[in-house]
Structure 1
Amino acid sequence: IFFNIRVTVFVTDMPRYLSMGFLSRIKSSLQEYIIRQMDAFVTLTNYMDADLNPNHKPSVVIEGMVDVRAKCESNKGRRREKVCMYSGSIHKIYGIKKLLDSFLAMNNTDYILEIYGDGDYRAELVELAAKHDRIIYKGLVSRDVIVARQKQVALLINPRPSSYDYTQYSFPSKIMEYMLSGTPVLTTKLPGIPAEYDKYLYYFEDESIEAMANKMSEVLSMDYTECLRKASEAQSYVMNEKNNFLQMKKLLSIL
């Protein structure tokens, strides 16, 4: 649009959720207006495309990607270590407190929960971990350590609440990272997660503490061979359908 140059915009976050205050809201509204004037769109979710691209200009949804060079180890014969894991930002808005409360309410008291990351819930998490042997806070560690550990635990959990409006416009990168590990994944059903992922993930159908505790207990009580089969299919799916080569081909298709 500028000087007859076609512009493709890659939107990773909605400006309206990146600012606070009256003046900031005016700024974000202006930013979104400008975005809507672009010639082509790359977005994270269909909701984002529908909002920013009402005139149906060329667009593609790329919710994320995995490196085609990533080492994918078979999970065949893997033993169930009685450990659940969360890795990522430990901000209150991401449901960390509810994850801890529901985990402690779970019947499977022989499992522990390992948490990796940093955020505004850190101080409370450290205090809680000091009181409960089943909660282990590992803090910030290297990505290599995270990836290796994801392949050893029984279950990877994403507790991000689905009720917030912003979840329509986001796809947590940890979902693909989790799936690539070959370990079963239990997550909230976020609006930004496409339906094509449903057969590879376990979902919290209800996000109350009791319901989440029951769902974790249910998944951890399932036949582990079947859980690993589903996790293996998830691993193959993201590697074969969501790798960086294929995702960039989608981008090239609209340029």
Structure 2
Amino acid sequence: MTVIDKASPLPYYEQLAELLRHDIISKRAQGEIYQLSSEHELAEQHGLSRATVRHALDELEHDGWIYRQKGVGSFAPVRRFEQDLTQLVSTTEDMRQRGWSLLTRVLSLQPLPAATHVARALELSSGAPVYELCRLRLVDDVPISVQTAYLPAALCPRLEENDLAASLYRLLESRYGLRLWSGRETLCARGATEREARLLDIPEGTPVMYAERITYAATGVAVEYLEAVWRGDRYDFKVTLTRPG
């Protein structure tokens, strides 16, 4: 739908709301707050009454698509993404559950001897063979995270033969028989490095969230050590808290 269909049984305000949703989605990909046309301009553009336009904007505001500033106009905020830290899910699984379109670009995959900190995290001897997998994650064509995963080569031989743009967790479980059970994650805020800034399309030094995660199989074996950088202006982490006792 690109214009209001006067013959459609769908109310005009619902048609306009749908048109504006599509417009907002396309503008969000540019990564900036988007100001909608004024009520008067929208009424003129679509041949509708101001009351109908206001009804459509009310619906968008109620559903969280826009917010209004009195005397200024209606705005669509930059889309933010969130991750529930109480669940052990991969980025691919999390985005799929939310119905969002995730694109993964594999930047590199290489076998190498584990550095000291990687070996410590994976409970391996220093220099043990691991795979280093670097990937860039994008939603709505906007880069949101750079992720580097280290996996013991003994647990996932010939990893390079697989589709590494798909869910890594699903691959580990389905092909390598590793039942993923738990994880330990540490978060901190810091500035983006030159490489991270270039990949995430942000200025160097921009605040980002840095996460380290160790994922364990049901047997207690560490199967992945992940270093991830998330855009601070696009991603939120959510934790549900309860009082003890």
TM-score over 0.5 for the pair:
no
TM-score normalized by the length of structure 2: 0.28
Higher alpha-carbon Rg = 2
Bigger fraction of residues in helix? 1
Bigger fraction of residues in strand? 2
TM-score normalized by the length of structure 1: 0.27
